[in-house]
Structure 1
């Protein structure tokens, strides 16, 4: 994380207002909600899990049992069933 000096990035009036509440400490200013990426979007994990879940449903549709899918994907039967129900 990059730290920036308030004097360099804030207008003087806003800096003075902030100094009424906090001085000399670090403060985190979060991004706007619409600018934040959802979980797994940046790393690609969300996409990988969606592909895995489609694959699980495809195998199930082709006759694989929940127990077979548990062994193949190292997931619990409950997780496999949730994926199948969600994919229908």
Structure 2
């Protein structure tokens, strides 16, 4: 979050309206609902995890054991178990 001067952002009419309620104080203006991205959407982390989990499920279906997958992917036994038994 960064500081922005209201005079540089808002039209004069809107600034005058806001000044009737608040003058010289900080105001937090939240993002519009629905405009915020979910975790990992911008960086690609969400897709990378989805792809990794699908790979784990495929290898499990192909006969790899949970212990082998745990070692291969560097994840805890219980984490692999959650992945392979979830609906995904």
Q: Which TM-score band (shorter chain)?
A: 0.7 to 0.9
Structure 1 counterpart SS, 2:34: helix
Between the aligned partners of 2:87 and 2:72, the Cα distance in structure 1 is: 18
| Aligned Cα root-mean-square deviation (Å) | 1.7
Query: Any gaps of 5 or more consecutive residues in structure 1?
Result: none
Question: What corresponds to 1:9 in structure 2?
Answer: 9
**Which stretches of structure 1, 4 residues or longer, exceed 3 Å deviation after superposition?**
none
Residue 59 (str. 1) matches residue 59 (str. 2):
yes
* Aligned residue pairs, count: 84
TM-score, normalized by length of structure 2?
0.82
Instruction: State the Cα distance separating 1:2 from its structure 2 match.
Output: 4.5
TM-score, normalized by length of structure 1?
0.82
Whose helix proportion is higher, 1 or 2? Answer: 1
